[in-house]
C-alpha cells in the first residue's frame, strides 16, 4: 500500500507579486493574486483536491495566522 502524505499550501505575501499560493516542499507558486481573499479561496480550492491537506494563511509579515485541514488523515500517515 502506497503511503499518501499531507499536501500543504501556504498563502503568503510577496512585495513584488502580491498574495501567492505556494505548495510546500516544491516551493512552486500555484497562483498569484492582488487580493488576499482571492488567494485564500484559490488555496482552499487546491487543498480540497487532495484526500488530506492543510492550508496555512500568513499575514503580511509572514506569521502564521490560521490553518485549515481538509480531508482525513490516513491511519498510516504520521503527522
Predicted structure pTM score: 0.85
Span 31-58, pLDDT tens digits = 999 999 999 999 999 999 999 999 999 9
Q: Specify the DSSP class assigned to residue 27.
A: -
Q: Are 68 and 60 in contact (CB under 8 A)?
A: no
- As beta bridge partners, residue 69 has 54
Q: Would you say residue 1 has pLDDT above 80? A: no
Whether 23 contacts 30, CB under 8 Å: yes
Classify 74 as helix, strand or coil: coil
Amino acid at each position: 500500500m502506497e503511503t499518501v502524505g499531507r499536501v500543504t499550501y501556504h498563502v503568503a505575501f510577496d512585495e513584488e507579486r502580491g498574495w501567492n499560493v505556494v505548495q510546500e516542499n516544491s516551493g512552486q507558486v500555484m497562483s498569484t493574486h492582488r487580493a488576499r481573499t482571492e488567494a485564500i479561496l484559490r488555496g482552499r480550492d487546491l487543498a480540497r483536491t487532495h484526500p488530506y491537506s492543510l492550508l496555512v494563511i500568513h499575514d503580511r509579515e509572514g506569521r502564521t495566522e490560521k490553518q485549515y485541514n481538509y480531508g482525513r488523515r490516513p491511519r498510516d500517515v504520521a503527522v
